[in-house]
Amino acid sequence: MKLPPGISERDFSQATDRMRDIVGKDWLFTSDEDVLLYRDAYSPFLGEPEEYIPSGAVAPNSVEQVQEIVRIANRFKLPLWPVSAGRNLGYGGSAPRLSGTLVLDLKRMNRVLEVNEKLAYAVLEPGVSYFELYRYLREHKLKVWLDCPDPGWGSVIGNALEHGLGSTPYRDHFDAHCGMEVVLANGELMRTGMGALPNAPTWNTFKYGFGPFISAIFGQSNFGIVTKMGMHLMPEPEAAQSVSISVPRREDLIPFVDIMAELTNRRIVDCLWEIASPILQSRDPEVSSLLAKSDFTVLDVENLGRAKSLGYWGTRLWFYGPPKIIDANWGYVQERLALIPGATFALADRFTFPLADPSLAKDDPMTVPNGDALRLSALGIPNMSVFALGAAMRQHGHIFFSPVIPMSAQDLFKAEEVFRGAFKTLGIPWFGLQPFAWYRRNFILLFIFPITEEVSANKVLRANLAKLIRIAADNGWSEYRAPLVLMDDVMNTMSFNHFALPRFLEKIKDAVDPNGILAPGKSGIWPKSLRKVRP
Ligand SMILES: Cc1cc2nc3c(=O)[nH]c(=O)nc-3n(C[C@H](O)[C@H](O)[C@H](O)COP(=O)(O)OP(=O)(O)OC[C@H]3O[C@@H](n4cnc5c(N)ncnc54)[C@H](O)[C@@H]3O)c2cc1C
């Protein structure tokens, strides 16, 4: 068993014995077999002694139990790593950043405490998954939608705290939260926003409350354990329409992104959209043989694209709302993009609600075929189809590198040049950019690297990722979220004015958690006792 630094076996067993008394013997886990379940299945340290491994896990089922556990952890200075569903695959799973940390598994606290249909919000405990909330809304025939990320098994709260993302107008999950209840590092209970006012009916409707907007500091941090959260939901629209758009020339990216950015900022387009290249991503044999040549030109690609009716760039959008508003928005989008010669527009699926198509509303959304995954998520239906893609590629797992750049074509071209060059230097095959318009005014460039069972390949991957973070930072770009293994690397790039921000975060950490028991190392924030000198 791995113990945290400075904790003796005697102290560990005394602390866990007391916790067992609180939660009951079935909910404190220290056997190797149980701990295995809390390891990161996609760990980039697979088979290496450095793997981040917890000492065990404790699973309370009430706020009072969480408070008691935190008090015991303080007495023994035993660090805790809170997870809600613990499905943070690609970013660390449910493993802690510091080996030996005890996982505080909140999965059993999975009550939907309230859903207000009129004002479209829910109040949840951390263990409520997207599947569970979806089933609750369906069973109670409530006309509100949740917005889900690709995997439906995650926690609505855990995902939001990680700044996770989905696909509808409510895709920015942290932005959609409203009002938290937090167990602080000393075991005290606090409510944020209007929750500070006893019995305030606005706790889950008005998120700022009075004074500083303090909920923000509990996202991607280690300052408290969130035990309840309000989430704004989307009132069920009358209809949803998907459409696709393409433009024929590489240089069209400039007006295309400019117009799409403006339409997105005006919320005429209000969904996740991605820039794809129908021609470069085509599996057509003629396209493949052209791209395999060493001397093909952009003009060759554009001409072949025209012949095959495949755009150089393309995207897919969803519109939601009353049909006449959908039609008006789509009409305006076409009017604006028609300024680009050769732009094409196509209508795809239209759904009306409540859903008439029983195949999309079936009880077990986990069984839908692959191709439906994106469509289901866009309709607020959680599913697990995205995992079939990894399985099809026979990967052990993967890790994300996800820098954020401004939403402009010039920045995209620059990022393409910088990362293509970096990949070449590092000996990584270039697979192109995947820009996702999750946040307004920005693209997230999602790079997905496979984790293998080969230790040497994983070592090279880790070194390469650290270098990519540095290269991105040298160009002014950083990540929206980082896997455990890269958290320090990312925080160590935040060097403005002698690391003023990391130093401020450390001051907060020392003030609110003097014993350093909450998630040491989360987002590169370490308690005093474990802090290394900044580079
Ligand atoms: C194939 C694939 C596709 C994916 N697609 C998406 C996607 O579309 N969108 C997306 O956002 N993500 C995506 N992910 C990443 C990830 O799987 C999801 O974000 C997932 O929802 C996170 O797990 P979770 O919700 O169980 O959160 P958890 O694992 O429960 O929490 C994540 C982290 O938040 C903190 N935390 C959690 N709960 C608390 C609490 N109560 N108090 C204090 N801190 C807490 C902890 O640091 C924890 O490690 C994808 C991953 C894979 C492998």
CB-based contacts of 192, cutoff 8 Å, min separation 6? 179, 180, 181, 182, 209, 214, 215, 218
Indicate the burial class of 295 (C-beta count within 10 angstroms; 0-12, 13-18, 19 or more).
exposed
For the record, the structure tokens of 86 come out as 């613990």
pTM of the model: 0.96
CA separation for the pair 532, 487 (Å, rounded): 14
Please state the atom number of ligand 1 nearest to the C-alpha of residue 162: 34
Query: What value does the mean pLDDT take over residues 429-446?
Result: 94
Which range has the worst mean pLDDT, 134-148, 297-311, 346-360?
346-360
Assign 368 a pLDDT band (cuts: 50, 70, 90): very low
Report how far ligand 1's centroid is from the alpha carbon of 165 (Å): 10
Catalytic (active site) residue 481: yes
Residue 66 has pLDDT above 80, yes or no: yes
Catalytic (active site) residue 91: yes
Report how far ligand 1's centroid is from the alpha carbon of 66 (Å): 20
Assign 396 a pLDDT band (cuts: 50, 70, 90): confident
H or E stretch including 260? Answer: helix 253-265
Q: Kindly list the distances between the CA atom of residue 187 and the CA atoms of 190, 218, 225, in Å, as whole numbers in the listed order.
A: 10, 15, 10
Instruction: Report strand pairing: 28-29 vs 189-191.
Output: unpaired
Given this model, what pLDDT does residue 416 score?
96
147-172 pLDDT, tens digit per residue, is 999 999 999 999 999 999 999 999 99
Query: What value does the mean pLDDT take over residues 484-502?
Result: 97
DSSP label of 317: E
Given this model, what pLDDT does residue 389 score?
63
Please state the atom number of ligand 1 nearest to the C-alpha of residue 389: 1
303-322 pLDDT, tens digit per residue, is 999 999 999 999 999 999 99
Pocket around ligand 1 at a 6 A CB cut-off: 82-91, 94, 106, 126, 149-151, 154-155, 157-159, 161-162, 164-165, 225-226, 386-387, 390, 519, 522
Given this model, what pLDDT does residue 535 score?
60
Assign 369 a pLDDT band (cuts: 50, 70, 90): very low
Catalytic (active site) residue 121: no
Query: What value does the mean pLDDT take over residues 62-75?
Result: 98
CA-nearest residue for atom 5, ligand 1, is 150
Pocket-testing residue among 37, 89, 147, 274, ligand 1, by greatest number of atoms within 8 A of Cβ: 89
Given this model, what pLDDT does residue 364 score?
47
Report how far ligand 1's centroid is from the alpha carbon of 381 (Å): 17
For the record, the structure tokens of 408 come out as 């402009």
Residue 513 has pLDDT above 90, yes or no: yes
Residue 533 has pLDDT above 80, yes or no: no
Q: Which of 457, 412, 474, 462 is nearest to 437 (CA)?
A: 412
Percentage of the chain beyond pLDDT 70 is: 94
Question: Which amino acid belongs to residue 523?
Answer: S
189-245 pLDDT, tens digit per residue, is 999 999 999 999 999 999 999 999 999 999 999 999 999 999 999 999 999 999 999
Instruction: Report strand pairing: 177-183 vs 225-232.
Output: antiparallel
Given this model, what pLDDT does residue 385 score?
81
Pocket-testing residue among 109, 161, 165, 177, ligand 1, by greatest number of atoms within 8 A of Cβ: 161
Residue 98 has pLDDT above 80, yes or no: yes
Report how far ligand 1's centroid is from the alpha carbon of 486 (Å): 16
Please state the atom number of ligand 1 nearest to the C-alpha of residue 161: 34
Place of tokens 């009880």: 363
Assign 334 a pLDDT band (cuts: 50, 70, 90): very high
Query: What value does the mean pLDDT take over residues 420-449?
Result: 95
CA separation for the pair 410, 257 (Å, rounded): 9
Residue in 97, 171, 249, 481 annotated catalytic: 481
Query: What value does the mean pLDDT take over residues 333-350?
Result: 96
Of 354 and 487, more confident = 487
Given this model, what pLDDT does residue 356 score?
65
Please state the atom number of ligand 1 nearest to the C-alpha of residue 218: 43
Query: CB of 102 within 8 A of CB of 54?
Result: yes
Residue 286 has pLDDT above 70, yes or no: yes
Query: What value does the mean pLDDT take over residues 245-252?
Result: 96
Given this model, what pLDDT does residue 443 score?
98
Please state the atom number of ligand 1 nearest to the C-alpha of residue 387: 1
CA separation for the pair 158, 177 (Å, rounded): 11
Report how far ligand 1's centroid is from the alpha carbon of 299 (Å): 43
Query: CB of 233 within 8 A of CB of 145?
Result: yes
Given this model, what pLDDT does residue 498 score?
96
Report how far ligand 1's centroid is from the alpha carbon of 217 (Å): 17
SS3 309: coil
Report how far ligand 1's centroid is from the alpha carbon of 155 (Å): 7
Please state the atom number of ligand 1 nearest to the C-alpha of residue 163: 11
Return mean pLDDT, the chain: 94
Given this model, what pLDDT does residue 491 score?
97
Handedness of CA 522, 524, 527, 530 (dihedral sign): positive
DSSP string, 53-98: --SEEE--SSHHHHHHHHHHHHHHT--EEEESS---TTTTTT--SS
Assign 384 a pLDDT band (cuts: 50, 70, 90): confident
Query: CB of 451 within 8 A of CB of 458?
Result: yes
Which range has the worst mean pLDDT, 63-67, 349-353, 489-493?
349-353
Which range has the worst mean pLDDT, 29-38, 364-373, 453-462, 519-528?
364-373
Given this model, what pLDDT does residue 390 score?
60
Assign 357 a pLDDT band (cuts: 50, 70, 90): low
Cis bond before residue 483 (omega within 30° of 0): no
Residue in 91, 121, 130, 134 annotated catalytic: 91
Assign 366 a pLDDT band (cuts: 50, 70, 90): very low
